[in-house]
Amino acid sequence: MNVCVYCSSSDRVAPVYFDAARKLGQLLGERKNNLVYGGGNTGPMKALAEGVKETGGRVLSVIPKIFDERGLTFSGSDETVVTANLQERRITMIRDSDVFMALPGGFGTLEEVAENLTMRQLGLHARPLCLVNVNRYWTPLLALLDQMVEGNFAKPEHRALLHVVGTPEEGLDYVDRYAPVDVPDKWSD
């Protein structure tokens, strides 16, 4: 299974985020899943990829040319795809993945989660999207999503497409047993 993981590339985040990324990577390798990720060699991104490699897993790095030229690509990748820009990177990651998980991250991670959730809401794919809520990081976003439902900006069925877990183990257990559900049309009553 190709597991796309979105996460931070910041070296300045707390150790708990590095630990969760490394643990998820190790579990991916142990379960013989392939990692598809943003290809970075910094922050939790690097810890994630190292965890996969430590347990014999395979890493597909998808990185924009501007980052690759700056030397930001993980050198231990089994395969590296250098894209023209960030948009092509996101499309490539989605195309080449069976499931999607997000650890805590910054603006880029938020953008990737929002785009993926929107695509799922519109029926452009039927794959799972799971947030690993390390240290309650995603809780403010979840409150915003609940507010969207309360204000009728989104349907409860669409909000439910974003599954939330507390640990990497719970996330992988969820995607392993995931069964697609029918999604109501965004514009129907």
The pLDDT assigned to 104 comes to 98
* Segment 43-86, tens digit of pLDDT: 999 999 999 999 999 999 999 999 999 999 999 999 999 999 99
The mean predicted confidence, pLDDT, of the chain is 97
Number of domains in the chain: 1
Domain span including residue 19: 2-175
Amino acid at 123: G
Residue 186 belongs to a domain:
no
Residue 184 belongs to a domain:
no
Which residues are CB-contacts of 181 (< 8 A; sequence separation ≥ 6)?
A: none
Residue 182 belongs to a domain:
no
* Segment 25-44, tens digit of pLDDT: 999 999 999 999 999 999 99
Question: Does residue 139 contact residue 104 with C-beta atoms inside 8 Å?
Answer: no
* Segment 116-155, tens digit of pLDDT: 999 999 999 999 999 999 999 999 999 999 999 999 999 9
pTM of the model: 0.96
The pLDDT assigned to 122 comes to 95
- CATH number of the domain residue 119 falls in: 3.40.50.450
Nearest to 171 by CA among 38, 59, 6: 6
Residue 111 belongs to a domain:
yes
Residue 84 belongs to a domain:
yes
